[in-house]
């Protein structure tokens, strides 16, 4: 220690702190060898508190004001050290300034989605985020439980722990509230108060309080939001039939302006479908004739597909045969009801009388022979 430091230490201390960092919660007054002179002046400004620690023991907490550090206004020091009033040596002590103003616009949010059972959507997941403010309400407890001997303690050092407490309380409160997801936006203020109340006891054990807590947004997973948007859009269309006609007209217009052949063909095809529907008002939006005369514009159904059949002959198979050929074989006695047959799409081999299409071949009696 230089001569200048020594001489400076012999003068009466003036102890004060002004903070311009905006995030410092606790700051320790630095003094050479922690020697605070007897009779030193301690200034505590509004929004501050000063915690006096002597020989590792918390001796006193000073609220805003000007103090003279003497044993007559710090009786606890007399108890700790058994001093008499004439003792003039420096205090071997430390003074911690605690910022008691609000720290605002602090962020919180759910790191992972929260599972809950919604009365409308069923089991779903949500995310949420918002802001909160924090304030030191009990400087002695805060110093004892959180700060310790840290000479400069900032908000960043405890914000992560507070965020975890908020998220846990939010999860528990949302799950127990039973509020539908679609109604949560209208109840964010009440939910914020519930969550702040739920965590008040926990943060009070740290010497802190949460004066304000806001929920800025509650969101659903992207897939659920997309389904919700689709449902909302469907509700806005009103008359679905009129909406389909409008969509077809828009497709025709955009298809006519499209530079590609596919866009033009799609627009023309939809336009022809719309024109056919407008020409015959008895056809509903699904293409089903609901009444009135039939129109020649309707496309006939495709012709039925004729099956061909295979016949089991011991370990060999014969065919394929058409149904007409099988009819001739029945009349000639080559095909009986117990003959096994198979065609494409059939589930395994079946006897001829088990197949409805072939069973009728055995029920039609041939006409009597000529000249009988």
The CATH fold assigned to 103-224 is Tetrahydropterin Synthase; Chain A (3.30.479)
pLDDT at 259: 47
Query: 231-240, 259-268, 308-317: lowest mean pLDDT where?
Result: 259-268
φ and ψ at 43, to 5 degrees?
Answer: -110, 125
Where are the domains positioned within the chain? 3-99, 103-224, 237-279, 309-362
Q: Report how far residue 125's alpha carbon sits from residue 219's, in angstroms, rounded to the nearest whole number.
A: 9
pLDDT at 96: 94
Instruction: Assess whether pLDDT exceeds 70 at residue 239.
Output: no
Model confidence over 338-359: pLDDT tens digits? 888 888 878 788 888 888 777 7
pLDDT at 247: 75
Q: What is the percent of the chain with per-residue pLDDT over 70, rounded to a whole number?
A: 73
What is the dihedral sign for C-alpha 55, 59, 63, 65?
A: negative
Highest mean pLDDT among 38-47, 66-75, 198-207, 248-257: 198-207
Instruction: Please give the residue that has the higher pLDDT: either 48 or 84.
Output: 48
Angle between helices 261-279 and 240-257 (to 10 degrees): 140
Model confidence over 111-162: pLDDT tens digits? 888 888 888 778 888 899 999 999 999 999 999 999 988 989 999 999 999 9
Q: How far is CA 214 from CA 107, 184, 187, 193, 313, in A?
A: 10, 13, 11, 8, 84
pLDDT at 101: 95
pLDDT at 153: 94
Tell the burial category of 101 from Cβ atoms under 10 Å away from its Cβ (0-12, 13-18, 19+): middle
Predicted TM-score (pTM) above 0.75 = no
Query: Do the Cβ atoms of 191 and 217 come closer than 8 Å?
Result: no
CB atoms within 10 A of CB 159: 17
The upper half-sphere exposure of residue 43, i.e. CA atoms within 13 Å in the direction of its Cβ, equals: 7
* pLDDT confidence bin for 10, thresholds 50/70/90: very low
14-20 contacts at long range (C-beta below 8 A, 24 or more positions apart): 14/40, 14/41, 14/43, 15/40, 15/41, 15/42, 15/43, 15/50, 15/69, 15/95, 16/42, 16/43, 16/45, 17/45, 17/48, 17/97, 18/45, 19/97, 19/99
User: Cα 9–11–15 angle (5° rounding)?
Assistant: 80
pLDDT at 341: 86
pLDDT at 320: 83
* Mean of pLDDT values over 54-69: 87
Q: Omega into 320 within 30° of 0, i.e. cis? A: yes
Q: What is the mean pLDDT of the chain?
A: 77
Instruction: Assess whether pLDDT exceeds 60 at residue 272.
Output: no
Instruction: Assess whether pLDDT exceeds 70 at residue 181.
Output: yes
The upper half-sphere exposure of residue 201, i.e. CA atoms within 13 Å in the direction of its Cβ, equals: 3
* pLDDT confidence bin for 212, thresholds 50/70/90: very high
Q: How far is CA 320 from the centre of its chain?
A: 62
Q: Report how far residue 5's alpha carbon sits from residue 88's, in angstroms, rounded to the nearest whole number.
A: 20
Residue labelled with tokens 């779903």: 124
pLDDT at 182: 82
* pLDDT confidence bin for 367, thresholds 50/70/90: low
Highest mean pLDDT among 6-10, 54-58, 90-94, 293-297: 54-58
Highest mean pLDDT among 44-48, 53-57, 216-220: 44-48
């Amino acid at each position: 220690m230089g001569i200048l430091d020594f001489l400076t230490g012999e003068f009466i201390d003036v102890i004060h702190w002004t903070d311009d960092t905006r995030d410092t919660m606790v700051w320790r007054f630095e003094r050479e060898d922690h020697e605070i002179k007897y009779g030193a002046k301690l200034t505590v400004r509004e929004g501050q508190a000063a915690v006096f620690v002597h020989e590792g023991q918390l001796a006193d907490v000073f609220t805003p004001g000007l103090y003279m550090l003497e044993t007559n206004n710090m009786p606890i020091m007399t108890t700790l050290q058994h001093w008499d009033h004439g003792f003039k040596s420096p205090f071997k002590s430390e003074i911690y300034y605690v910022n008691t103003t609000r720290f605002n616009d602090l962020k919180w949010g759910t790191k992972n989605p929260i599972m809950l059972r919604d009365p409308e959507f069923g089991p779903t997941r949500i995310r949420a985020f918002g802001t909160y403010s924090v304030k030191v309400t009990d400087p002695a407890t805060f110093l004892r439980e959180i700060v310790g001997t840290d000479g400069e303690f900032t908000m960043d050092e405890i914000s992560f722990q507070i965020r975890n407490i908020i998220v846990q309380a939010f999860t528990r409160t949302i799950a127990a509230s039973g509020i539908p997801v679609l109604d949560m936006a209208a109840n964010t203020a009440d939910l914020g108060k519930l969550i702040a109340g739920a965590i008040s006891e926990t943060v009070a054990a740290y010497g802190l309080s949460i004066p304000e807590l806001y929920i800025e947004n509650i969101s659903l997973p992207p897939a659920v939001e997309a389904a919700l948007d689709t449902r909302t859009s469907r509700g806005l269309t009103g008359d679905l039939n009129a909406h389909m006609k409008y969509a077809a007209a828009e497709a025709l217009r955009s298809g006519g302006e499209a530079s590609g052949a596919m866009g033009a063909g799609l627009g023309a095809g939809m336009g022809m479908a719309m024109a056919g529907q407008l020409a015959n008002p008895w056809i509903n939006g699904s293409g089903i004739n609901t009444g009135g005369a039939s129109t020649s514009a309707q496309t006939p159904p495709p012709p039925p597909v004729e099956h061909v059949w295979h016949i089991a002959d011991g370990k060999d198979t014969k065919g394929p045969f058409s149904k007409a050929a099988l009819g001739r074989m029945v009349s000639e006695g080559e095909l009986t009801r117990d003959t096994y047959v198979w065609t494409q799409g059939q589930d395994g081999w079946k006897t001829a009388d088990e197949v409805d299409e072939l069973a009728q071949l055995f029920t039609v009696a041939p006409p009597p022979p000529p000249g009988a």
